[in-house]
Amino acid sequence: MKEIAANRQAFHNYDIIEKFEAGIVLTGTEIKSAREAKVNLKDSYGIVKSGEVWLLNCHISAYSHGNYSNHDPLRTRKLLLKRSEINRLIGRTTERGLTLVPLRMYLKDGRLKCELALAKGRKVHDKREVARQKAIDKETKQALSQRR
């Protein structure tokens, strides 16, 4: 697996509840540009609309060797999931505060996949608490390794 893009900010802003692997419906110039790792997931999110899952605001740059038929970089893209997973997402996203966030994009057997997460947004004080807890865990781990 070759990682194309990662949304590192998602782990800071959200509590990840459940992860899904989804395929993406792309045009020819989009997959060529994605293979050049010209993908940005920073402000992207997913929605469930009429029984289908869509990826919005995912920026895939125009292909460098493309012509007049190049794609729109911020085009809405359809995600491919199993019906049971879509039904579960429909039920969970209607709950208050849960959203779909793409975590990373990668190539798997020549196909572009998106790791999508069902997540709950964190408040500012929660972000601080998580950062504080990570620092404490890191310090204890270092202290234990120095003792041994």
With left for phi above 0 and alpha for psi between -120 and 50, is residue 120 left, alpha or beta?
beta
Phi, psi of 62, rounded to the nearest 5 degrees: -65, 145
The pLDDT score that the predictor gives to residue 82 is 93
Question: Is the domain covering 2-122 a CATH 2.40.280.10 domain?
Answer: yes
How are the residues of the chain apportioned to helix, strand and coil, as percentages rounded to the nearest 5? 35, 40, 30
Q: pTM (2 decimals)?
A: 0.80
| pLDDT, tens digit (0-9, with 9 covering 90-100), for 89-100 | 888 888 777 889
Helix intervals (H) in the chain: 8-13, 28-35, 83-93, 124-147
Alpha-carbon distance values, 58 to 74, 94, 126 (Å): 6, 22, 27
Residue 19 CA: distances (Å) to CA of 75, 85, 145: 23, 10, 32
Q: What is the mean pLDDT of residues 95-107?
A: 88
Identify residue 33 by its one-letter amino acid code. Answer: S
Q: How confident is the model at residue 83 (pLDDT cuts 50, 70, 90)?
A: very high
